[in-house]
């Protein structure tokens, strides 16, 4: 096929030998099958922010650390330089997450590097060399659903132990090869300890996966893995060896209104302080 403009520099630099075909085009990227160093791999071409339809990106970027203070200020202000840094951070987040999770024991595509907004990584295939199907295209027995759900919950646990919440996990972001589920699409992965939305995202990730597998094994609907994991994570008791049960005892006591109001007040004061810091930064640059 004709080489896409965004892939041309990688071809010229010898990182890609040839572009075979387009695999898919989604809300955040277009993915191509390519040959690289004699192997068939995939090249994920990230869309520019203005063309990307991923909603509420700011929620996912909260808590991501930027070591360079100038870059951090620029990103907070939203200058052209800052927007470029945000794009780089968005793209590098997936590369970092892939390396981290692979090391932690989560099955993810092997990354080979990110170059000018293009992520080169392993192409996950079935036994016949065809592209592995997404989970949403796979039917299974109740026994297989229970087994694969347990495996995915273990992967979610390993992610959390590594300080990461996927943030967009669903049957559309899991591939299935002959060895089982493979987690994909991680540019929106969040810092579990630093992002205020981490728990709600974890709950959504687990709910999405459980709802899908429950179509084949309805008993899974009665489980509460997200709450179980998060409670252990908060107390420092979660580890890769933790054996999950899916059981969680909810606190039925009434909400402490005063505590809730204090949290709202603290959040308001924190936002005011952030605005002041932005104003100070603007003054420094004038």
CA 151 to CA 210: how far, in whole Å?
12
Alpha carbon of residue 138 to chain centroid: 22
Cα distances (angstroms) measured from residue 240 to each of 59, 214, 234 = 27, 25, 15
Q: CB of 209 within 8 A of CB of 170?
A: yes
Catalytic residue (choose from 13, 18, 126, 168): 168
13 in catalytic set = no
* 84 CB-near residues (< 8 Å, 6+ apart): none
In 3D space, the residue among 64, 113, 72 whose CA is nearest the CA of residue 93 turns out to be: 64
In 3D space, the residue among 10, 12, 15, 32 whose CA is nearest the CA of residue 23 turns out to be: 32
Catalytic residue (choose from 185, 258, 284, 285): 185
Residue 144 CA neighbour count, 13 Å, CB half: 12
Helix, strand, coil share (%) of the chain residues, nearest 5: 50, 15, 35
96 in catalytic set = no
Torsion angle in degrees (nearest 10) through CA of 194, 198, 199, 201: 180
Residues known to be catalytic: 168, 185
């Amino acid at each position: 096929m004709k080489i896409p403009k965004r892939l041309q520099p990688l071809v010229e630099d010898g990182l890609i030998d040839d572009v075979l075909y387009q695999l898919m085009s989604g809300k955040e990227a277009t993915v191509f099958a390519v040959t690289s160093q004699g192997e068939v791999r995939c090249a994920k071409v990230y869309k520019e922010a203005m063309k990307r339809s991923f909603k509420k990106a700011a929620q996912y970027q909260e808590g991501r650390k930027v070591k360079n203070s100038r870059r951090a200020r620029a990103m907070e202000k939203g200058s052209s330089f800052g927007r470029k840094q945000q794009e780089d951070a968005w793209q590098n987040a997936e590369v970092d997450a892939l390396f981290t999770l692979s090391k932690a024991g989560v099955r993810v595509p092997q990354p080979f590097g990110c170059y000018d907004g293009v992520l080169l990584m392993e192409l996950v295939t079935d036994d016949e060399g065809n592209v592995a199907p997404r989970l949403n295209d796979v039917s299974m027995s109740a026994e297989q659903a229970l087994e694969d759900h347990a495996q995915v919950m273990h992967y979610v646990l390993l992610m959390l132990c590594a300080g990461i919440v996927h943030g967009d996990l669903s049957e559309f972001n899991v591939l299935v090869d002959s060895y089982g589920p493979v987690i994909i699409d991680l540019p929106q992965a969040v810092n579990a300890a630093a992002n205020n939305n981490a728990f709600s995202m974890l709950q959504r990730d687990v709910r999405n996966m459980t709802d899908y597998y429950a179509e084949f094994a309805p008993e899974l609907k009665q489980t509460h893995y997200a709450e179980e994991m998060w409670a252990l994570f908060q107390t420092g008791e979660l580890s890769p060896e933790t054996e999950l049960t899916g059981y969680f005892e909810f606190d039925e006591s009434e909400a402490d209104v005063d505590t809730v109001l204090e949290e709202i007040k603290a959040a308001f004061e924190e936002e005011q302080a952030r605005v002041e810091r932005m104003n100070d930064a603007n003054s420094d640059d004038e």
